[in-house]
Structure 1
Amino acid sequence: MDGLRALACSLVFAVHWQQTTGVGRTFGPFDFKRLLLNGNTGVALFMVLSGYLLSLPLYSMPIEQRLRRPLPHYWRNRACRILPAYWLCLLLLALASANFRSPAHLLDVLLHATFLHNFRPETIYSISSPFWAIAVFAQFYVVFYLVVVALRVVGTIADRAIVIAFFLVAVGGQGIATAMFYLPSDMMLDVPDGWSGANTICLEHSLVIHLPIFWFGIVAGAIHRRLPKDHNFIADVGILTSVILMVIILGTDLDEHLQIEGTRYNFPIIPSLLAAALVATPRSRLALAIVEMRAVRWLGVVSYAFYLFHLPAMEAMARIASEFQIPWQTHPLAFGITTSAATFVASHLSYQLVERPLQSRFRKSVA
């Protein structure tokens, strides 16, 4: 899945590159600026991937093993995966802040370190805007664990039970999000700021509104396990169809018409297309020819750190260029290439010096 991770982080990079440089052109009904801004679909792809990769080992276990120990080393795996690079980036940004000694800033850092910063409007984007999604992922890991443990206690942990259980959780989460989105003004007295009415920034960046997107990944894992693993023409057609439809939707006015209030990422069309592409990728020679390219796979390996470091690197490069009076706004492509190269270097160092050593130590400790 490294190639798909590379695609996801590249899409998120495109969003902030557009926001920083303002690049964008229109070609008839196709709006390149709209397509770049909809690169936030990369976050949705990460979410579908997360549901897929968390559930796939579970589907591969015999039922007896699922009932005995369904999630071996789960928390250590998750911590080893997300904490080192995230805490490193968070520490560097916190130290770089001019007000790192103020109590408000220390509280902000603490909320970020414990993945609770998406509960307050003033802390969602306060340190680095891409960090909001890390909180959602960490919170989903908790929900995933609790649901699997609950199924184990009940004594039914078959594939169908897993899909149905997470479907009910996703429907419940989306129901809460929709209810809060349409909550009448006279019922908002006890609702925290950012969760209802005109200001729903916390709701829009919460786990409850994204649970259905994770569920698509869980369904994709169940489907993947049952389909033949052979390469076939249908998978090639499925990949091409999914990509073309997503480009058309995200790059034209269809994006507005297919947006449902109270949901995100053109739900359910875009998440379902992402899930379909995910299932088809390992069965498509066309897709594998791209995602298995060496450069693409290596970007996928460091994609998590790339996601974390790309916006700070972009902001730093913009400040440096401004200090030296370099007109980077008029050279958006050069700015994007330079920034992506700097981000890749930072990501590579993070992976080699922090993430990989800790992951290697973990593997030895559980061997």
Structure 2
Amino acid sequence: MKQIISIQYLRAVAALAVVYHHAFENHLASDLRPYAFGIWGVDIFFVISGFIMWVTTANSSTTAPLFWRKRAIRIYPIYWVALSIWIICRFIAPDRLANVDVTAKTTILSYFIIPHYHSVFTKHVWPILIPGWTLQYELFFYLIFGLALSIVSRPLRAAAILACLAFLAVVGCIVEPANALLTIYTDPLLLEFGGGVILGIIYLRGRCLPRWLALATVVFAIPVLVINEYLFSESRRFLFLGVPALLAAFGAASLEPALARRPNAPMILLGDASYALYLFHPIAMGLVAAIWPRLVDNSHPASFVCVAIGASILSSIFVHVNVERPLTRWLSEASVKVSSQISA
């Protein structure tokens, strides 16, 4: 399928928002912590995921096993690389958590991305590599979406996906489960994937906002996300961050005809590398934080933020080009060969 330029740009913006937030959250930039924002990048990612899954499968005959295999190849290998490096770094240079969260149990659960409560931040269902918490939602959505692919009728397929997500969200609001698995699998955040599916349906039907309104929607949605981040509660995250994230995605997708005429290569590259940026930026920031006090005193938190963000971007592009892309290509080709041999 032809690359959707507007979505690549939005991926880049979402990843940069998360990186920006974590740069300010690092203890070396604690003086600037009130200026930290960007967690809404995750909400944009969830909307994009629902959108892309629908757009890429709506007109194909993809089966559930093939869909899940492709998703596994996309998600797990580079995540395993990032998680392994993170754990090794933690043992070489123990951080303020004193490695208490790296145990045999949490390591196994983290590698398989099975929801579990963090050993230190006990109220959060987080793996050892904390940004991986979003992958718990992604994989569960892929499970639901893959099962729905057996429904031939696209309207019924969409209805089944949306009904399932809505049902789980309602259950989560009513029951408020304490179990880690159920906490994730009944979280109203799942509705953001459903919003992306709806957006994908609208996009494939060729219905979009006029260019001026699309631009206004994006310009309006991003500041709303920034403001709402300071106002929202976790129980209402879908309303405060999910809805404006959906508006931002709708506006961006509506601008596709204009943006596709003159693609911006650096933004497309950053969009391609957004997953690597999301996973590897804690490692890059950790290394910068370890070196920084030896080079510069901590009275320059703004400088640290700039260097940490720059190091995160450069390292993620390197990882994407030299590790993620060739590894994904090799595994995809290998899986095709294995499948053909089995079918033969």
TM norm structure 2: 0.80
Of 212, 219, 226, the residue aligned with 2:205 is 226
**Which amino acid in the other structure matches residue 285 of structure 2?**
M
Give the secondary structure class of the aligned counterpart of 1:116.
coil
* Separation of aligned partners in 2, 1:210 and 1:252: 19
Do 1:260 and 1:266's aligned partners in 2 also have CA atoms closer than 8 Å?
no
Map 1:129-168; keep pairs closer than 5 Å: 129-149=130-150, 151=151, 157-168=152-163
Number of the residue aligned with 1:171: 166
1:213 aligns with 2:188: no
Deviation at 1:223, TM superposition (A): 0.8
Do 1:170 and 1:208's aligned partners in 2 also have CA atoms closer than 8 Å?
no
Any stretches of 5+ residues in structure 2 without a counterpart?
1-6, 338-344
* Separation of aligned partners in 2, 1:208 and 1:254: 18
Deviations 1:171-211 (A, max 9, x none): 11211221134xxxxxxxxx54679xxxxxx83x5563222
| Distance 1:15-1:253 versus aligned 2 partners, 3 A rule | closer
* Separation of aligned partners in 1, 2:194 and 2:328: 27
* Separation of aligned partners in 1, 2:149 and 2:214: 31
Number of the residue aligned with 1:317: 288
Count of residue correspondences: 320
* Separation of aligned partners in 1, 2:117 and 2:101: 18
Number of the residue aligned with 1:44: 43
Percent of aligned pairs with the same amino acid: 21
Do 1:84 and 1:354's aligned partners in 2 also have CA atoms closer than 8 Å?
no
**Which amino acid in the other structure matches residue 218 of structure 1?**
V
Number of the residue aligned with 1:240: 215
* Separation of aligned partners in 2, 1:278 and 1:109: 38
Give the secondary structure class of the aligned counterpart of 2:128.
coil
Of 298, 308, 312, the residue aligned with 1:339 is 308
Number of the residue aligned with 2:274: 303
User: Which deviates more from structure 2 when the two are superposed, residues 209-218 or residues 339-348?
Assistant: 339-348
**Which amino acid in the other structure matches residue 39 of structure 2?**
N
Map 1:17-56; keep pairs closer than 5 Å: 17-20=23-26, 21-22=29-30, 33=35, 36-37=36-37, 39-56=38-55
Of 342, 356, 359, the residue aligned with 2:325 is 356
Number of the residue aligned with 2:225: 250
Do 1:12 and 1:307's aligned partners in 2 also have CA atoms closer than 8 Å?
yes
Number of the residue aligned with 2:243: 269
**Which amino acid in the other structure matches residue 352 of structure 1?**
V
**Which amino acid in the other structure matches residue 45 of structure 2?**
F
| Distance 1:168-1:361 versus aligned 2 partners, 3 A rule | same
User: Which deviates more from structure 2 when the two are superposed, residues 214-223 or residues 161-170?
Assistant: 161-170
* Separation of aligned partners in 1, 2:226 and 2:321: 37
TM norm structure 1: 0.75
Deviation at 1:48, TM superposition (A): 1.0
Deviation at 1:133, TM superposition (A): 0.7
Deviation at 1:268, TM superposition (A): 5.4
RMSD of aligned residue pairs (Cα, Å)? 3.3
Give the secondary structure class of the aligned counterpart of 1:73.
helix
Deviations 1:17-40 (A, max 9, x none): 222224659xxxxxx83xx42x11
1:327 aligns with 2:297: yes
Do 1:128 and 1:312's aligned partners in 2 also have CA atoms closer than 8 Å?
no
Any stretches of 5+ residues in structure 1 without a counterpart?
26-31, 152-156, 182-190, 196-201
* Separation of aligned partners in 1, 2:201 and 2:241: 20
Deviation at 1:118, TM superposition (A): 4.3
* Separation of aligned partners in 2, 1:329 and 1:311: 22
1:115 aligns with 2:136: no
* Separation of aligned partners in 1, 2:221 and 2:247: 7
Give the secondary structure class of the aligned counterpart of 1:115.
coil
